[in-house]
Amino acid sequence: KNEVEQSPQNLTAQEGEFITINCSYSVGISALHWLQQHPGGGIVSLFMLSSGKKKHGRLIATINIQEKHSSLHITASHPRDSAVYICGGTGNQFYFGTGTSLTVIP
Amino acid sequence: DAGVIQSPRHEVTEMGQEVTLRCKPISGHNSLFWYRQTMMRGLELLIYFNNNVPIDDSGMPEDRFSAKMPNASFSTLKIQPSEPRDSAVYFCASSPGQGANYGYTFGSGTRLTVV
Nearest CB to A86: which of B43, B99, B103? B43
Residue B91 in contact with partner chain A when CB distance is under 8 A: yes
Instruction: Pick the residue of B23, B35, B92, B104 with the most A CBs within 10 A to test the interface with A by mutation.
Output: B104
Per the omega criterion (within 30 degrees of 0), is the bond before B8 cis? Answer: yes
Half-sphere exposure of A89 (CA within 13 A, CB side): 25
Q: Which residues of A touch B33 (CB under 8 A)?
A: 94
The one-letter amino acid at B42: G
Search chain B and give the residue with CA nearest A96: B43
Pairing of strands B10-13, B110-114: parallel
Polymer length in residues for chain B: 115
User: What does each of the 115 residues of chain B score in pLDDT, given as a tens digit?
Assistant: 679 999 999 999 999 999 999 999 999 999 999 999 998 888 999 999 999 999 988 889 889 999 999 999 999 999 999 999 999 999 999 998 777 777 789 999 999 999 9
What single-letter DSSP state applies at residue B8? -
Instruction: Pick the residue of A90, A92, A98 with the most B CBs within 10 A to test the interface with B by mutation.
Output: A90
List Cα–Cα distances, B82 to A73, B37, B98, in angstroms: 41, 16, 31
Average pLDDT of each block of 10 consecutive residues along chain A (106 residues)? Answer: 87 97 90 90 90 94 94 97 94 86 97
How far apart, in whole angstroms, are the C-alpha atoms of residue B35 and residue B45?
Answer: 5
Say if residues B107 and B23 touch (Cβ distance below 8 Å).
Answer: yes
How far apart, in whole angstroms, are the C-alpha atoms of residue B65 and residue B60?
Answer: 6
**Closest Cα partner for A96 from B114, B46, B4?**
B46
Q: What is the pLDDT of residues B9-27, one digit of tens each?
A: 999 999 999 999 999 999 9
Q: Which residues of A touch B59 (CB under 8 A)?
A: 94
> How distant is the alpha carbon of residue A1 from its chain centre?
19
3-state helix, strand, coil in chain B (%, to 5): 5, 55, 45
Average pLDDT score, chain B:
93
